[in-house]
Amino acid sequence: MKIAVSACLMGDNVRYDGSNKRNKELIRLLESHEIVRLCPEAMVFAIPHPPIELQHERVIDSAGYDHTEELEAACKECLKKIEGCDLVILKSRSPSCGSGEIYDGSFSGTLIKGNGLFAALCLSENYQVYTENDLKIIKDVLDRSL
Q: Which residues form the interface with ligand SF4 (CB under 6 A)?
A: 6-8, 14-15, 39-42, 91, 94, 96-97
Q: Per DSSP, what are the bridge partners of residue 101?
A: 113
Instruction: In whole angstroms, give the CA distance from residue 97 to residue 141.
Output: 20
Residue with Cβ nearer ligand SF4 (50 or 140): 50
Q: At what angle do helices 68-81 and 117-124 cross, to 10 degrees?
A: 40
Nearest to 23 by CA among 102, 89, 86, 67: 89
Residue with Cβ nearer ligand SF4 (112 or 140): 112
Smallest separation, CB 143 to ligand SF4 (Å):
25
Instruction: In whole angstroms, give the CA distance from residue 100 to residue 94.
Output: 10
Smallest separation, CB 144 to ligand SF4 (Å):
26
Smallest separation, CB 40 to ligand SF4 (Å):
5
Residue with Cβ nearer ligand SF4 (39 or 121): 39
